[in-house]
Chains A and B, each alone.
Chain A
Amino acid sequence: MNIVVCLKQVPGTTQVKINPQTNTLIRQDIKNIVNPFDTYALEEGVRLKERYGGKVTAISMGPPQAEGMLREAIAAGADQTILLSDRAFAGADTLATAYTLAQAIKKIEGYDLVICGRQTIDGDTGQVGPELAEELGLPFIAYVNKIEETTTGQMRIQRMIEEGHELIETPLPAVISVVKEINVPRLPSLRGIIKAKDAIIPVWTAHNLGVDPSMVGLDGSATRVVKIFFPERVRHGEKLQGDLEDQVASLIEKLRKSRVI
């Protein structure tokens, strides 16, 4: 099986700060990690390769430092990687991201399956997977928690729905997004890390891809981030006065009034 796994580098913390002028994330001083859901996508790709043979290509669109993450992907079992990196890609929304990823994936010969994470922990939209499928003209199955069986051109998968599971058969190639229930990602291996150290991480630019410049980056984005802000926390705290007995009495009174007790 020829498998493509989409990985995104995200800030390794939920305590992200936002630049009030530009409304963008302040990415300095934050250690970047691979989007946690994408580690399950990679692991599943590697497991499928181990079961059926073939190769795993890890692909990411991001700044040059995403190279480190792709090296880790090699240590974790990816055979090759592609980094899509170009100033022209900056500021992409999910539409432009999916378009750019799709143009790159189209250049990978004879792929059978594209695996994404269910969503990222920064952008958090979960839209790139389905949009990617749309761009590629392929079926999309979200929230996959088990790949039952793969035969030539066909795959049986289980996906999570609100009240249970759905068993789906899909022709290949297809795009899927996976949930964390699907596997336990392996630890890196020494041989993998050593291999990753010497690996060459090809970088594809807008020029290499031959993409329409008006379709990528900020220009290719259908949406604009107008403002990013933390919801203001309004606290309705009240300090009870008096000695302990007064406080207890007034507390009980308040609880009664609000029908808590």
Chain B
Amino acid sequence: MEYLLNEQQKLVKNLARKIAEERILPVRADLDEREEFPWAIMKDLADSDLFRIFVPEEYEGLGGGCLDLCLIVEELSRVCSGVAVTYAASALGSFAIRQFGTEEQKKKYLPDIAAGKRLTAFALTEASAGTDATALRTTAEKVAGGYVLNGTKQFITNGGEAEIYTVIALTDKTKGPRGASAFLVDKGTPGFSFGKKEKKLGIRASATIELIFRDCFIPEVNIVGREGMGFIQTLHTLDWSRPGIGAQAVGVAQGALEAAVDYARQRVQFGHPIIALPAVQTILADMAIQVEAARALVYAVARTVDSGAKKITEESAMAKVFSSDVAMEVTTKAVQIFGGAGYMRDFPVEKMMRDAKITQIYEGANEMLRITIAAELRKRRGRRE
């Protein structure tokens, strides 16, 4: 399919594929088995300047857009989603700095993020606040010179490994969502520690961990934007990053499709490769159609984001929901095509199926995002757009 990528986009896509095949492929099963954080690969990505893509040129980045990021995430995820999300989470965790940060914050943090010297994380979810982000309990109390954080975040990607955390906390409990603010918290800040590291079904190379704040003092200069803007900033952040989850989903689905075709070509039953069976052909064709449709949607939405469109909630939710459902379906079918072998860890597709599942859950569970899309539909019709 011709997606009319520009020179830089072709370049990043090819480079990400090269890294994925040369550096990630040989170790992905091992990283998964041992739930090991992929530091060596993060170094490769850093050395290849891939962390620079999502940072503006003024701060030593390469000023790429949402589509550039999606291309990289897709290529990494085609080989290992656990690695892909580890990389993508650093784009997510630094979005608030890039978009809403002060000049000082940008100068302080972005060059190191661009160089891949420091990873970032985005911390919203709490035990009581998952889909319902308005139920946050972590507080940020105003004191002289700054704020004091108290509370616990759970399921935070890159937790423990990242150096910079964007943390959403309540500066005013009485105001609900309007009382939330975003803070930049450095690893090593007194009162900031890590809790349980989760053992996961999939994306096991990635770290998912609890963040614990106990009377953790954050200087005034580390608030992002104004007090009370945290919730709006979060919505913007997720609108921007959801196409990336879509790309992660497209990548893992693409990986599963390729594995399934390869296997079907060489697995002989009843005297012929099983790809000669109409039943298998139908499954493979459906898989291919779905993957390509998801990719087209993700790229189109990423381009919409890059066009500077203001209202992208609906589109970015669509890219994430559709692609993640496709990923789950396609990876499940890939396991089916592999038969019993697909169920075994000696082959890559069971991992892909486990890895695909998360894309339907995080950055907004698909059920919630469908409600969001429906709400936008209503609003648009109401406005007669």
Contact = CB atoms under 8 A, between A and B. Distances in A.
B49 A191 contact: yes
A187 B11 contact: no
Contact of B53 (A186, A190, A192): A190
Given A193-B11, A193-B15, A187 B22 contact: yes
B220 interface: no
Query: Which of the listed residues A186, A187, A192, A194 has the most CB atoms from chain B within 10 Å of its own CB?
Result: A187
B47 A186 contact: yes
Interface string A168-198: 0000000000000000001111111110000
Contacts of A192: 49
A187 B52 contact: no
B79 to A, nearest CB: 14
B23 interface: yes
B52 A188 contact: no
Contacts of B53: 190
A189 B49 CA distance: 6
A113 to B, nearest CB: 24
Contacts of B23: 187
B50 interface: yes
A115 to B, nearest CB: 21
B15 A188 contact: yes
A146 B48 CA distance: 25
A191 B11 contact: no
B56 to A, nearest CB: 15
Interface string B168-210: 0000000000000000000000000000000000000000000
Chain B, interface residues (CB within 8 Å), range: 10 to 19
A190 B44 contact: no
Nearest to B12: A190
A186 B49 CA distance: 12
B280 interface: no
A194 B62 CA distance: 10
A190 B15 contact: yes
Contacts of A190: 11-12, 15, 48-50, 52-53, 62
Interface in B1-46: 11-12, 15, 18-19, 22-23, 44
Contacts of B50: 190
Contacts of A193: 11, 15
B291 to A, nearest CB: 27
B188 to A, nearest CB: 28
Nearest to A186: B47
Contacts of A186: 47
A191 B62 contact: yes
Contacts of B62: 190-191, 194
Contacts of B22: 187
A194 B12 CA distance: 11
A193 B9 CA distance: 13
A194 B6 CA distance: 14
A187 B47 contact: yes
A187 B18 CA distance: 9
Nearest to B23: A187
Contacts of A188: 15, 18, 48
A194 B48 CA distance: 12
A180 to B, nearest CB: 15
A187 B12 contact: no
A188 B12 CA distance: 11
A164 to B, nearest CB: 29
Interface of B: 11-12, 15, 18-19, 22-23, 44, 47-50, 52-53, 62
Given A188-B18, A190-B50, A191-B62, 18 more contacts: A187-B15, A187-B18, A187-B19, A187-B23, A187-B44, A187-B48, A188-B15, A188-B48, A189-B48, A189-B49, A190-B11, A190-B15, A190-B52, A190-B53, A191-B49, A193-B15, A194-B11, A194-B62
19 contacts: A186-B47, A187-B15, A187-B18, A187-B19, A187-B22, A187-B23, A187-B44, A189-B47, A189-B48, A189-B49, A190-B11, A190-B15, A190-B48, A190-B49, A190-B52, A191-B52, A192-B49, A194-B11, A194-B62
Which 3 A-B pairs rank lowest in CB-CB distance, beginning with the nearest? A190-B49, A189-B49, A189-B48
